[in-house]
Amino acid sequence: MEKNDCVDMQVIGMERKDESFLNGYKAQLFDLVNEEFNEEDDNASQCLFSWMKAVRDTLQAETVLFYQRMENSYHLTEAISTGNHPVSVFPDVLEAIFKDSSEVCVKGADSHSDFASFDYAFMMDDQHGSCGILLASGIVSHDILTLSKDVLEKFSAASCNYLKKMNLFLQIIEDEHRYRELFKVNEAFHSSMDINILLGQIISTLTRVFPDYHFHLLLSNDNDKNHGNLPIKDFDYDRANTAAMEAFVNGTIETDHHYSEQKLTLYAPLKGKQGVYGVLEVVTGLPFKFPENQREFVRLLAYTAGNALENAKLYQQSRRLISDLQLINETSHRLNSNLRMAETLTFLKKQIKRSFQASSIGFVFIDKRGEYKVLTESSSFFRGIEGTTCINYVKRKIFTDKEAIFIGDLSGKFGKELSYLSLMAVPMIQNGSIIGFCIVLHKEPYSFSFDMYKLLQSFIHHSTLALTNSMLREKLEELVITDHLTQLYSRNYLDEEMARAINQDEQGALLLLDIDNFKKINDTYGHQIGDEVLIQVAKVLKEESKEAGFAARWGGEELAVYLPHIDLKSGIAIGSRIVEQIPKGTKPSVTVSCGVSSWKSGQEDHVKDLVKRADASMYYAKNNGKNQVANILN
């Protein structure tokens, strides 16, 4: 065989060896591409490990290292070694290996001091530049060590092509997984109007999709602080960093690099159609840009969450409005049912406590002199020193500003710590004048929302007229049943009470009194002094009978006292005491003549019979010396 033929045979043999090497490697890559991966596993790590194993087997190497390019540096991503733990290479050394822009470096042929421990180095290129560097060492096979550079470049190209397909395949799987999660969370969002459930769905979805990241929800105007263990914070407008503020204000996704902490933070606005409700904070320890598909997923999740939050808030707001309207309607209905003043205030207190979860409620009325009176239906706090301080502060501010008060934190307002820190106060205005105010307190700061404040204003506005009507009605009733001059009960009222007592009680006594020589008082001192004497006598009657019965003006200078549950003997004793005290309590001093009658259960008696006997006894006392008590018919 000629020399040229031998050379040709060697060339053919080498070509067949190269072809067999490449075909075997490509066959393994083909099997890897068609291999099915369990979606519950880490597909990226599994694919990379399988490829590295195929590289090691094909090159018959002891150690194979793969450095992935991230931003402007290389990071060791995968290492396979059958011997000792592989030695890593510094990123600047990797850059220096390929300084001549070659795609393959061979030990010996491409000398580099730091490359001595490796046999081959491959630059993995894609259309956008370097995506990684593959290093192989510990190759003992002569056939592998003598592969031509052309074959090695084809090996590198096949590897790079596999990596591109692997990344595309993984991206498709990841996108499918993310959008499946997005579909699930979107479905969950539409099945609930509970804000805490919605917020929990956001966090759980992000945790499943990005298990290595950390998350916070920075919510604005979050009134509900009870979110359990969810990573939720208030959006602090004063302390928020620039990226978070831009995301909130502009409604765009922003990133913030912390190179010293090797941390990257992404801020996505929770944006609805009517506004931005907070910011989703995503923190990763990897110092590189978020992949575009991850940014898009976070953007879509934040947008979907923002709309869901908005719908939930609108739903809750509509329910609050319905509840508020029901409260106003129920209150108006009850207040128009002719309640007594005490009943009206008790009802208002109950409604306020239920609707605002108030800790203490006070009702304060102002008289024409500017003096205030704390109504008995108010909480006990307002009858103490702290309550008085609070009332004086509210009164001064309301009369100065002529409007309601809304204070979220009372700390430092009065120079000392208070038992209550949240305050709302609304004036009661009737015909343009302030007739009083309602104070609502809570122990915790910022416990009342602005919506609660506006509702309380509407509530008190609707209630003021009813309170005023109750006051006027009771005052009118008082005028009807009392004598204008003496402020004693009227005769009609006394007749009604005696009739009721005879039907219900066991016994009772009636005193009839006539001022002795009253005409002489009028003739001597004038009718004005006569009226003063009547008023003084009435005062003595009220003082002496206030615990035993009630006094009335019978007519002219005649007065009466009815004593329920009192027998005749006790009635005579009370009458004697009154007769004794009247000369001491009048000026000019006068005396009275008193007649006493009584009744007992079981005897046929009527009011007119009781009056008739008392009247006869009174005239007996008057005709037999005056200034005495008499009983002649019992």
Active-site residue numbers?
557
Give 626's Cβ-side CA count (13 Å radius): 9
Distance CA 402, CA 417 (A): 27
Distance CA 12, CA 435 (A): 114
CA dihedral 109→113→114→119, nearest 10 degrees, is 20
DSSP assignment of 282-337 equals EEES--SPPPHHHHHHHHHHHHHHHHHHHHHHHHHHHHHHHHHHHHHHHHHHHHTS
Q: What is the layout of strands, in order, in the sheet containing 558-564?
A: 550-555, 558-564, 507-515, 592-600, 629-630
Coil, strand or helix at 408: coil
**Per-position b or e across 421-444, b if 16+ CB within 10 A of its CB:** bbbbbbbbbeeeeebbbbbbbbee
Closest Cα to residue 363, out of 249, 252, 353? 353
What six digits make up the tokens of 221?
Answer: 């105007």
**Per-position b or e across 506-540, b if 16+ CB within 10 A of its CB:** ebbbbbbbbbbebeebbeeeeeeebebbbebbbbb
Distance CA 516, CA 629 (A): 13
Positive/negative CA dihedral, 192, 194, 197, 198: positive
Q: What is the layout of strands, in order, in the sheet containing 104-106?
A: 73-81, 63-70, 129-137, 120-126, 104-106
Pairing of strands 214-219, 232-234: parallel
Positive/negative CA dihedral, 80, 82, 85, 87: negative
Task: Find out whether 306 and 271 touch, Cβ atoms under 8 Å.
Answer: yes
